[in-house]
Amino acid sequence: MTDFFSEPEHQPFQLGRGAVGALLLHGFPGTPAELRPLGEQLAAAGWATYGPLLPGFGPQIPTLGQKTRHDWLNAARQQWKKVQASHETAVLIGFSMGGALALNLAAAHPPHFLVLLAPFWRFGRWEGNLLPIVKHFQKTFHPFAQADFGDTAVRQQLNDLMPNANLDDPTVQQQIRQEIQLPTKTIDEVRLLGKESGQQAIQITSPTLVLQGRADTVVLPRLTRQLITRLGGPVTYRELPGSHTFPKMRPHTITPDILNFVQSG
pLDDT at residue 29 in the model: 86
Residue 146 counted as domain residue: no
Task: Kindly state the average pLDDT of the residues 109-132.
Answer: 79
CB 212 within 8 A of CB 241: no
Residue 180 lies in a domain: no
Mean pLDDT score, 162-177: 79
pLDDT tens track for 20-46: 999 999 999 889 999 999 999 999 999
pLDDT digits (tens, 9 = 90+) for 4-20: 788 899 999 999 999 99
User: At 247, which CATH number?
Assistant: 3.40.50.1820
In percent, the amount of the chain with pLDDT more than 70 equals 87
Mean per-residue pLDDT for 232-248?
93
Confidence grade of residue 195 (pLDDT, cut at 50, 70, 90) = very high
Q: Name which residue leads in pLDDT, 111 or 175.
A: 111
As a whole number, mean pLDDT of residues 181-191 equals 82
Q: What pLDDT is attached to residue 136?
A: 43
Q: Is the pLDDT of residue 138 over 60?
A: no
Mean pLDDT is lowest, of 14-18, 86-90, 145-149, 228-232, for 145-149
pLDDT of residue 130: 42
pLDDT in tens, 47-106: 999 999 999 998 888 888 899 999 999 999 999 999 999 999 999 999 999 999 999 999
Nearest residue to 255 via CA among 112, 93, 99 = 93
Which pLDDT belongs to residue 213? 94
Identify whether 166 is part of a domain. Answer: no
pLDDT at 222 > cutoff 80: yes
| Residue at 176 is within a domain | no
Least confident range from 98-102, 113-117, 172-176, 237-241: namely 172-176
For residue 38, tell me if it sits in a domain.
Answer: yes
* Number of domains composing the chain: 1
Higher pLDDT, 167 or 12: 12
Q: What are phi and psi of 256, to 5 degrees?
A: -60, -35
**Is 201 within the bounds of a domain?**
yes
Mean pLDDT over 133-151 rounds to 63
Whether residue 216 is contained in a domain is answered as yes
The confidence score (pLDDT) of residue 178 equals 72
Q: How confident is the model at residue 142 (pLDDT cuts 50, 70, 90)?
A: low
Which residue range(s) make up the domain with 121? 8-126+186-264
Residue 1 lies inside a defined structural domain of this protein:
no
